[in-house]
Amino acid sequence: RKEVEQDPGPFNVPEGATVAFNCTYSNSASQSFFWYRQDCRKEPKLLMSVYSSGNEDGRFTAQLNRASQYISLLIRDSKLSDSATYLCVVNPYSGGYQKVTFGIGTKLQVIP
């Protein structure tokens, strides 16, 4: 089983739609979780951290389910500018060091 699994998509959604991505992880020792966004031919950039209590930033909501070992990202009212690849990041912390592990990414295309 891969350490971090994501559906690569692509997800093609119309503007204004709500879209959700899930990401599952295998290492129960994972301590911190993030969603990154990567635009074509650019570096990944932090979208948001994922806290146990869930967190929201404008149109974006992230949730963590430790029992089922998955994190989710919900995007409401999709904009054309949301088109990108969304990378799930899981950081197992063992032996005092972390191993920042990326999922393969989910490609989102928002269509006019």
Partner 1 sequence: DTAVSQTPKYLVTQMGNDKSIKCEQNLGHDTMYWYKQDSKKFLKIMFSYNNKELIINETVPNRFSPKSPDKAHLNLHINSLELGDSAVYFCASSQHLPRIRLYTEAFFGQGTRLTVV
CB of 23 closer than 8 Å to CB of 6: yes
Nearer to partner 1, 44 or 54 (CB): 44
**Residue tagged 């994972």 (tokens):** 30
Please list every residue from 20 through 59 that binds partner 1, using CB under 8 A. 31-32, 34, 42-46, 49
Minimum separation from the CB atom of position 34 to partner 1 (A): 5
CB of 25 closer than 8 Å to CB of 91: no
Choices 11-19, 62-70, 74-82, 97-105 (CB under 8 A): range interacting with partner 1: 97-105
**Residue tagged 């290492």 (tokens):** 27
Spatial distance between the Cα atoms of 34 and 64, rounded to a whole number of angstroms: 10
Binding site for partner 1 (CB under 8 A): 31-32, 34, 42-46, 49, 85, 87, 89, 91, 93, 96-102, 104-105
